[in-house]
Chain A
């Protein structure tokens, strides 16, 4: 900018160096003349740890809750590493993460279940949206259809009883041998937990759970702006 001569610079508010010599005595108040930290007046307000002003009317603490987040992403190498790296780096409490292709070539859906406060959930969505391969991301509404797949391998000591329990939970026997029986179950979180409890009596040998995946009910798009997908046609979001 300017062509002002160096001499026209205003003096800083610190000491006053006399050019070319030992500085003159400073006329500014020294710390000993200033009110100390405890002598100053302070406002009485404060913020909570989420940076929200605490107002007697507004609740200060946020309870964490379970939220299902669905993201449409470009199916490019490293996309899962980007998403999971971001979530873990920011110390969000991730419960499960499932990924699979959609009907659109080159797109995948990531379904993530997190346990966070509302501001935390908001941050997860915003941070995920920043990633270049993320096309659309949002929380799936509370009444969404969620389902999880679990494979359970139990001791085959009492095959008839295993079969009976399996039927009670709409399970399917996918492998049966003299030593073990493997059952496949799908359902929402609560029914899977109940089923596992019921199978425990047989002695569970191994278990594999996928974590829930979800779709919004009816015409509501699962990820914000998501349009009905047809193979070969891009499901672009509004931008």
Chain B
């Protein structure tokens, strides 16, 4: 979309290069890099080659992007690279795919776009990664330096536009240094608290000749903090934990990003401390463990919210206390002393005051704490109370025979039909909440969703990124299931064309209620049922659209069609879409009204 016909075609006129053909180029490219043990980067002759050499040296294996005028030199250099490039249908898809790829692979995701509209189309995906602290590098083309600031064709102040939504961004100002800048940006994205970085690449910089081969990639000085927490602070926190009567762990997304899930499990189990997670923290602790109370917050479980409300010692790891988790700050864990573990000092006491701040790497600090807590807190009665809450407030839904298919049933059917390591991606809305509530997550990096920004349309491109990551890791047998809403799916469904072209084995379950359902739910609860612009009765037939894209398309209306359709879609070796027509009136419960007290979650609509 950004590579418009108006773009001068001086570079690509005479020798049109074939777009990377799915099967052949993938096979050829993935075989290539394995035997390069020596210096990864060879001699370079242009800025663009230096960019690609730096990416290869930093270990980037896959890029998602869309071609365009100003980024063309970099794409030309990618032509001979070991880096696999996945052409996306839209730059927003490239950013989400790179984000999800990074979460699954545990490496920074990489996306590319041209200048102007290409770069601005990345913005949503960059902001999404920023809110969820996902390591990602975005490379954007830019008009030649001499035209910058002149409102040249396809020019945008990309550095200015992305400044508040990146960890740091760079304007490349010379061919000799651009490789080092790109390498630094790649490493900075994962140093300390991860986040997106961006390098804006003027076309003259990438086209210019250079003989400067980039050096080893390293983050800027001072951005890779000490992983260990202060030993005295750990001792103080350990004493507070020992003295607690009602302790609760709260594991956030930072536990997963720090690869600290094992340390977190060991810690909680060693001392018999009940565990809640945040929504991004789903998978850090197995939800089938007796100690697990699942996730808390607005649509979290009643028992998680009761435990958070009544705890006297909250051990929070890698969470920023988002308002969707805390509800009203005044009623959040009101009697708890807070032990807060985070690698980012700015998160300490930002939203909730930390009595015991421990700054550093989550894995290291959990190990420090596990060593420092000598005696488990005396919490048997507390564990019993948590178990009672689990009995009293289970996640549930009614399935009278005269009602249409319930979306929760679909999620559970998929859960039962798939293995533990299945990766779930979602869009944003009611389906996202059901996918997180009615699926039993046990492993980190299996729950890929847009948390902080709440980006509708995240699900399909994220499934593309997750599938490519799993394949790159040699995990072709893992399933990737995308739960999407009808409204969310329609926003980025063009990426289905990418899944077909690349022959990606993903299953997309559209929970189609012909509403922008979460809005409809809020309108019913808070706007007297006035369904302004939330009524989506004009949705196309998604099964037929899937077929038009070249994917398998199925439609399900009744309970007895669910299991066969799930089986057929999972068995299908390629992208499959099932359009589940579900109960349009079903609501997500429990629910803590925005800014309300977590303990006052509603379990029925009439309690809102």
Query: Chain A residues in contact with chain B, CB under 8 A?
Result: 1-6, 9-17, 19-23, 25-26, 28-32, 34-38, 40, 42-53, 77-78, 81-82, 85-86, 89, 119, 122-123, 126-127, 129-132, 135, 237, 239
> Which residue of B is nearest A134, CB measured?
B222
Tell whether, in the assembled complex, residue A43 and residue B310 are in contact, meaning their CB atoms are under 8 Å apart. yes
Expressed in whole angstroms, the Cα–Cα distance for A85 and B417 within the complex equals 49
Shortest beta-carbon distance from A4 to chain B in Å: 6
Expressed in whole angstroms, the Cα–Cα distance for A16 and B416 within the complex equals 10
Tell whether, in the assembled complex, residue A47 and residue B419 are in contact, meaning their CB atoms are under 8 Å apart. no
B27 is an interface residue with CB less than 8 A from chain A = no
Expressed in whole angstroms, the Cα–Cα distance for A109 and B418 within the complex equals 58
Q: How many A-B residue pairs have CB under 8 A?
A: 191
Question: CB-CB contacts of B297-335 with A at 8 A, as 1s and 0s?
Answer: 000001000100110000000000100000001111011
A14, A21, A78, A135: most-surrounded residue (chain B CB, <10 A): A14
The 4 lowest CB-CB distance pairs between A and B, nearest first, are A45-B334, A126-B346, A51-B352, A31-B604
Of the residues B394, B416, B604, contact of A9 by C-beta under 8 Å: B416
A16: B residues at CB distance < 8 A? 412
Tell whether, in the assembled complex, residue B401 and residue A129 are in contact, meaning their CB atoms are under 8 Å apart. no
Shortest beta-carbon distance from A238 to chain B in Å: 10
Expressed in whole angstroms, the Cα–Cα distance for A195 and B587 within the complex equals 65
Shortest beta-carbon distance from A53 to chain B in Å: 7
A119: B residues at CB distance < 8 A? 349, 353
B19 is an interface residue with CB less than 8 A from chain A = no
Extra contacts besides A34-B392, A51-B321, A78-B171 (16): CB < 8 Å: A1-B443, A12-B415, A13-B394, A14-B412, A15-B397, A19-B417, A19-B563, A22-B559, A23-B406, A43-B309, A44-B334, A50-B349, A51-B353, A81-B163, A119-B349, A132-B220
A12: B residues at CB distance < 8 A? 395, 412, 415, 438-440
Q: List 14 A-B contacts (CB under 8 A).
A: A11-B416, A12-B440, A13-B395, A15-B397, A20-B562, A22-B559, A26-B397, A32-B604, A37-B602, A47-B353, A48-B329, A78-B171, A81-B163, A132-B220
Shortest beta-carbon distance from A230 to chain B in Å: 20
Of the residues A3, A44, A130, contact of B346 by C-beta under 8 Å: A130
Expressed in whole angstroms, the Cα–Cα distance for A204 and B131 within the complex equals 48
Shortest beta-carbon distance from B5 to chain A in Å: 34
B405-437: which have CB < 8 Å to A? Answer: 406, 408-409, 412-413, 415-421, 437
A123/B607 contact (C-beta < 8 A), A15-B412, A132-B220 known: no
B159 is an interface residue with CB less than 8 A from chain A = yes
Expressed in whole angstroms, the Cα–Cα distance for A4 and B420 within the complex equals 7
> Which residue of A is nearest B294, CB measured?
A13
Shortest beta-carbon distance from B370 to chain A in Å: 22
B164 is an interface residue with CB less than 8 A from chain A = yes
B202 is an interface residue with CB less than 8 A from chain A = no
Tell whether, in the assembled complex, residue A23 and residue B396 are in contact, meaning their CB atoms are under 8 Å apart. no
A22/B392 contact (C-beta < 8 A), A6-B418, A34-B603, A53-B335 known: no
B344 is an interface residue with CB less than 8 A from chain A = yes
Expressed in whole angstroms, the Cα–Cα distance for A13 and B304 within the complex equals 14
Of the residues A2, A17, A239, contact of B409 by C-beta under 8 Å: A17
B154-168: which have CB < 8 Å to A? Answer: 159-160, 163-164, 167-168
Expressed in whole angstroms, the Cα–Cα distance for A13 and B413 within the complex equals 13
B6 is an interface residue with CB less than 8 A from chain A = no
A13: B residues at CB distance < 8 A? 390, 394-396
B288: A residues at CB distance < 8 A? 10
A6: B residues at CB distance < 8 A? 416-419
B265 is an interface residue with CB less than 8 A from chain A = no
Tell whether, in the assembled complex, residue B346 and residue A129 are in contact, meaning their CB atoms are under 8 Å apart. yes
Shortest beta-carbon distance from B115 to chain A in Å: 18
Tell whether, in the assembled complex, residue B601 and residue A26 are in contact, meaning their CB atoms are under 8 Å apart. no
B577: A residues at CB distance < 8 A? none
B25 is an interface residue with CB less than 8 A from chain A = no
Shortest beta-carbon distance from B353 to chain A in Å: 4
B597 is an interface residue with CB less than 8 A from chain A = yes
Expressed in whole angstroms, the Cα–Cα distance for A183 and B594 within the complex equals 55
B393 is an interface residue with CB less than 8 A from chain A = yes
Shortest beta-carbon distance from B566 to chain A in Å: 9
Tell whether, in the assembled complex, residue B601 and residue A37 are in contact, meaning their CB atoms are under 8 Å apart. yes
Tell whether, in the assembled complex, residue B564 and residue A85 are in contact, meaning their CB atoms are under 8 Å apart. no
Expressed in whole angstroms, the Cα–Cα distance for A135 and B220 within the complex equals 11
Tell whether, in the assembled complex, residue A26 and residue B398 are in contact, meaning their CB atoms are under 8 Å apart. yes
Tell whether, in the assembled complex, residue A47 and residue B412 are in contact, meaning their CB atoms are under 8 Å apart. no
Tell whether, in the assembled complex, residue A17 and residue B416 are in contact, meaning their CB atoms are under 8 Å apart. yes
A47: B residues at CB distance < 8 A? 329-332, 334, 352-353
> Which residue of B is nearest A43, CB measured?
B335
Shortest beta-carbon distance from A84 to chain B in Å: 11
B345: A residues at CB distance < 8 A? 126, 129
Question: CB-CB contacts of B341-375 with A at 8 A, as 1s and 0s?
Answer: 00011101111110100000000000000000000
Shortest beta-carbon distance from A19 to chain B in Å: 5
Shortest beta-carbon distance from A106 to chain B in Å: 14
Tell whether, in the assembled complex, residue A35 and residue B392 are in contact, meaning their CB atoms are under 8 Å apart. yes
B399 is an interface residue with CB less than 8 A from chain A = yes
Tell whether, in the assembled complex, residue B335 and residue A45 are in contact, meaning their CB atoms are under 8 Å apart. yes
B184-201: which have CB < 8 Å to A? Answer: 188
Tell whether, in the assembled complex, residue B603 and residue A4 are in contact, meaning their CB atoms are under 8 Å apart. no
A40/B334 contact (C-beta < 8 A), A15-B408, A20-B563 known: no
Expressed in whole angstroms, the Cα–Cα distance for A122 and B412 within the complex equals 46
B533 is an interface residue with CB less than 8 A from chain A = no
Shortest beta-carbon distance from A198 to chain B in Å: 43
> Which residue of A is nearest B439, CB measured?
A12
Expressed in whole angstroms, the Cα–Cα distance for A84 and B302 within the complex equals 42
A1/B412 contact (C-beta < 8 A), A30-B398, A34-B392 known: no
Of the residues B163, B353, B394, B442, contact of A52 by C-beta under 8 Å: B353
Shortest beta-carbon distance from A77 to chain B in Å: 7
B30 is an interface residue with CB less than 8 A from chain A = no
Expressed in whole angstroms, the Cα–Cα distance for A17 and B413 within the complex equals 7
B336: A residues at CB distance < 8 A? 53
Tell whether, in the assembled complex, residue A51 and residue B413 are in contact, meaning their CB atoms are under 8 Å apart. no
Tell whether, in the assembled complex, residue B440 and residue A239 are in contact, meaning their CB atoms are under 8 Å apart. no
A10/B330 contact (C-beta < 8 A), A126-B346, A129-B346, A132-B168 known: no
B270 is an interface residue with CB less than 8 A from chain A = no
A44: B residues at CB distance < 8 A? 334-335
Shortest beta-carbon distance from B593 to chain A in Å: 10
> Which residue of A is nearest B346, CB measured?
A126
Shortest beta-carbon distance from A80 to chain B in Å: 12
A4, A19, A21: most-surrounded residue (chain B CB, <10 A): A19
A123/B346 contact (C-beta < 8 A), A50-B353, A53-B335 known: yes
A23, A35, A38: most-surrounded residue (chain B CB, <10 A): A23
Expressed in whole angstroms, the Cα–Cα distance for A1 and B409 within the complex equals 25
A82/B329 contact (C-beta < 8 A), A31-B604, A126-B346, A132-B188 known: no
Expressed in whole angstroms, the Cα–Cα distance for A3 and B335 within the complex equals 43
A28/B394 contact (C-beta < 8 A), A122-B349, A126-B345 known: yes
Tell whether, in the assembled complex, residue B163 and residue A23 are in contact, meaning their CB atoms are under 8 Å apart. no
> Which residue of A is nearest B400, CB measured?
A25
Tell whether, in the assembled complex, residue B222 and residue A239 are in contact, meaning their CB atoms are under 8 Å apart. yes
Tell whether, in the assembled complex, residue A14 and residue B394 are in contact, meaning their CB atoms are under 8 Å apart. yes
Of the residues B334, B420, B604, contact of A2 by C-beta under 8 Å: B420
